[in-house]
Amino acid sequence: MLRDLCRLMGFNPIEPGRRKQDVISHLPNCKIFHFAGHGHTDTTDPSQSRLLLDDWRSDPLTVATLLETNLREGSPFLAYLSACGTGQIKDNKSVDESIHLISACQLAGFRHVIGTLWDVNDESCVDVSRITYKEIRNEGMADESVCRGLHKAIRELRQRWLDESLMASRENRSVRKVDIRLAENGTWPRITSDGDQRDGRSPRDAVLWGDDEETQPFPWVPYVHFGV
């Protein structure tokens, strides 16, 4: 998908080796750096947060690596970090210092950077990148196209979530009507006015938000844009 979009934008997409030096060697001449993979947020030293390439244990591509890299001469346009937590800080002592992979790419010289504030799922990553790049393709390599593209992607994911939630809510109401009818027939534990069932069980179980895989935070929220 991305290769086709890049070609339509007039670029020749290159997929380097999955090692630090392979990636670093291409950065000075690239206009768009798209990373799709895994990210790691260091809990004690944010400068050691990294993109998980094949050699991430022996020679990691870290925040510190990017801060030592000067790409300003090449004026790279966009770094798109499609990985978990590329804008996340877990060290409480550094939480207000903005030391993460997104800011490191920006300081290295990228005019725009798109990343994430916490974990994201693969489906959302693909959808957000597809919509964002289509906007850049349609509007050209302009500052407005990046922020507008991400805005459109987030709105589409949000609307999809709302539609799915509305459908689920309607289905739950239908099930509730069936439960009440069965209770009136005496074939289901009757629910009293204070919300407890006659057999003493609570009709609902409280689940902390995000503790269950099916109750993760809103899928469109983590994506952020740093830039002009």
Domain assignment present for 178: no
Domain assignment present for 38: yes
Give the pLDDT confidence score for residue 184 in this predicted structure: 58
Going by C-beta distance under 8 Å and a sequence separation of 6 or more, which residues neighbour residue 214?
A: none
Domain assignment present for 66: yes
Instruction: Considering only residues 152 and 8, tell me which one the structure prediction assigns the higher pLDDT.
Output: 152
Domain assignment present for 164: no
Instruction: Considering only residues 169 and 35, tell me which one the structure prediction assigns the higher pLDDT.
Output: 35
| Contact assessment for residue 181 and residue 187, using Cβ atoms and an 8 Å cutoff | no
Give the pLDDT confidence score for residue 197 in this predicted structure: 45
Phi and psi at residue 33, to the nearest 5°: -110, 110
Phi and psi at residue 18, to the nearest 5°: -95, 45
pTM beyond 0.95: no
Domain assignment present for 104: yes
Using one digit for the tens of pLDDT, what is the confidence trace for 101-134?
999 999 999 999 999 999 999 999 999 999 999 9
* Number of domains forming the structure of the chain: 1
Helix 122-139 vs helix 143-184: crossing angle, to nearest 10: 140
Give the pLDDT confidence score for residue 14 in this predicted structure: 92
N- to C-terminal Cα separation, the chain = 26
The model's confidence at residue 12, banded by pLDDT at 50, 70 and 90, is confident
CATH number of residue 120's parent domain: 3.40.50.1460
Domain assignment present for 64: yes
Using one digit for the tens of pLDDT, what is the confidence trace for 46-61?
999 999 999 999 999 9
Kindly tell me if the per-residue pLDDT of 207 is higher than 50.
no
Domain assignment present for 152: yes
Using one digit for the tens of pLDDT, what is the confidence trace for 101-110?
999 999 999 9
Give the pLDDT confidence score for residue 187 in this predicted structure: 54
Instruction: Considering only residues 75 and 174, tell me which one the structure prediction assigns the higher pLDDT.
Output: 75
The model's confidence at residue 177, banded by pLDDT at 50, 70 and 90, is low
Strands 50-51 and 32-36: unpaired
Q: Which residue has the tokens 């959302």?
A: 124
Mean pLDDT, residues 136-160 taken together: 95
The boundaries of the domain holding residue 100 are 2-156+217-227
Domain assignment present for 85: yes
